[in-house]
């Protein structure tokens, strides 16, 4: 099932009912180009959310931090955290699993809720986790989420119990990954590098500068980034610049040249070429089509 237009109140809270009171979970197949807006707008909800990309590339943004997530990679978003999703490719699609913490808490005020759920939901620093295919722990979580989706579709006898058990397993792996510095060090290095890019993407960025932020040599930095993000570091930067520049194309009357330079491109022709390769349109045609 896909929701084509998410219902959101004035506080950006999603008002869609995710499941029922006795089985509080909803699973959606989201093909972004089928949404009324062509993307999922800013919203938040009290449910926990696991997503994994099934085709193409999706730009997820969580409280101002953006991540290009490609096929077979995913994202966890905590309860109450603002997030949005935009397509980076025409076929961009993902599975979204929204469920109430009560589904895995056993019962209210249980030791599970008090020890393993509530402290993490209330932790302001625990907003999201990128689920990377190349990492043993997060890859295992993605595999389990795929099984959850399959069982949810088929609905065999006892599927509700199976889903609750599997999501509990995902949750324990997730919070163990978050808590274990050895397992998560690689993830936080990636998070630090992406955050640096998202802050400085309008500036001229060099490989030496980027590699120094995570204390790797330039060649190792390139290999590290390609391994975890399935693209080169400068492809990611250009795609991020293009994605961010669409805001100015649609919400301002700035010239294409001005936008190109403001978003870190060295020349207008280079911006137009990269934009066309990514979207199939020139920046001017994109503006005419969607503004």
Q: Positive or negative, the Cα torsion across 4, 81, 24, 72? A: positive
Beta bridge partners of 99: 25, 48
Q: 255 and 160 share a domain?
A: no
Q: 256 and 221 share a domain?
A: yes
User: Is 242 contained in some domain?
Assistant: yes
> From CA 45, how far away is CA 99, in angstroms rounded?
10
Tens-digit pLDDT profile for residues 98-139: 999 999 998 899 999 999 999 999 988 888 999 988 788 999
Q: 223 and 178 share a domain?
A: no
Domain hosting residue 202, numbered range:
197-291
User: Is 255 contained in some domain?
Assistant: yes
Q: 42 and 90 share a domain?
A: yes
Looking at residue 184, its pLDDT comes to: 55
Q: 203 and 98 share a domain?
A: no
Q: Are strands 25-31 and 57-62 parallel, antiparallel or unpaired?
A: unpaired
Residue 289 dihedral angles phi and psi, to the nearest 5°: -75, -40
Tens-digit pLDDT profile for residues 191-206: 788 888 988 999 999 9
Lowest mean pLDDT among 28-37, 198-207, 213-222: 28-37
Q: Which residues contact 235 (CB under 8 A, 6 or more apart)?
A: none
User: Is 17 contained in some domain?
Assistant: no
Mean pLDDT of 266-275: 95
Considering only CA atoms, give the Rg of the chain: 20
Mean pLDDT of 207-229: 90
Looking at residue 180, its pLDDT comes to: 62
Q: How many domains does the chain have?
A: 2
Q: What is the CATH number of the domain that holds 240?
A: 1.10.10.60
241 has a pLDDT exceeding 70: yes
Q: 175 and 204 share a domain?
A: no
3 has a pLDDT exceeding 90: no
Spatial contact of 63 and 57, defined as CB atoms under 8 Å apart: no
Q: 141 and 97 share a domain?
A: yes
Q: 121 and 203 share a domain?
A: no
User: Is 2 contained in some domain?
Assistant: no
Name the residue with tokens 């689920």: 131
Q: 62 and 143 share a domain?
A: yes
178 has a pLDDT exceeding 90: no
Residue where one domain finishes, among candidates 184, 209, 224? 184
Please give the helix or strand (H or E) that residue 93 lies within, else none.
Answer: strand 93-99
Q: 168 and 78 share a domain?
A: yes
Q: 173 and 75 share a domain?
A: yes
The segment with the largest mean pLDDT, out of 58-67, 124-133, 254-263, is 254-263
Tens-digit pLDDT profile for residues 72-109: 999 999 999 999 899 988 899 999 999 999 999 988 99
Q: What is the CATH number of the domain that holds 161?
A: 2.60.120.280
Q: 116 and 209 share a domain?
A: no
Residue where one domain finishes, among candidates 184, 214, 244? 184
User: Is 13 contained in some domain?
Assistant: no
pTM of the model: 0.66
Mean pLDDT of 256-279: 95
Residue where one domain finishes, among candidates 184, 219, 241? 184
User: Is 239 contained in some domain?
Assistant: yes
């Amino acid at each position: 099932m896909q929701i084509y237009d998410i219902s959101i109140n004035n506080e950006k809270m999603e008002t869609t009912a995710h499941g029922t009171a006795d089985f509080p979970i909803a699973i959606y197949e989201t093909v972004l180009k089928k949404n009324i807006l062509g993307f999922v707008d800013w919203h938040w909800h009290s449910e926990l959310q696991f997503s994994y990309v099934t085709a193409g590339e999706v730009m997820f943004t969580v409280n101002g931090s953006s991540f290009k997530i490609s096929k077979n990679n995913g994202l966890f978003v905590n309860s109450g955290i603002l997030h949005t999703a935009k397509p980076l490719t025409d076929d961009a699609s993902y599975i979204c699993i929204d469920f109430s913490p009560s589904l895995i808490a056993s019962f209210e005020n249980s030791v599970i809720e008090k020890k393993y759920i509530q402290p993490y939901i209330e932790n302001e620093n625990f907003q999201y986790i990128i689920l990377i295919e190349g990492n043993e722990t997060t890859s295992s979580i993605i595999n389990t989420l795929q099984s959850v989706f399959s069982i949810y579709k088929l609905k065999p006898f006892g599927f509700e119990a199976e889903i609750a058990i599997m999501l509990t397993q995902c949750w324990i792996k997730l919070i163990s990954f978050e808590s274990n510095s050895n397992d998560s060090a690689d993830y936080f290095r990636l998070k630090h590098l992406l955050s640096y890019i998202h802050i400085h993407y309008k500036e001229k960025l060099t490989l030496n500068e980027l590699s120094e932020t995570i204390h790797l040599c330039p060649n190792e930095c390139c290999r590290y980034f390609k391994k975890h993000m399935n693209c080169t570091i400068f492809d990611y930067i250009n795609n991020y610049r293009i994605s961010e520049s669409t805001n100015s194309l649609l919400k301002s009357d700035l010239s294409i040249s001005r936008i190109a330079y403001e978003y870190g491109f060295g020349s207008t022709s280079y911006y137009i070429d990269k934009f066309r390769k990514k979207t199939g349109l020139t920046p001017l045609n994109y503006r005419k089509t969607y503004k």
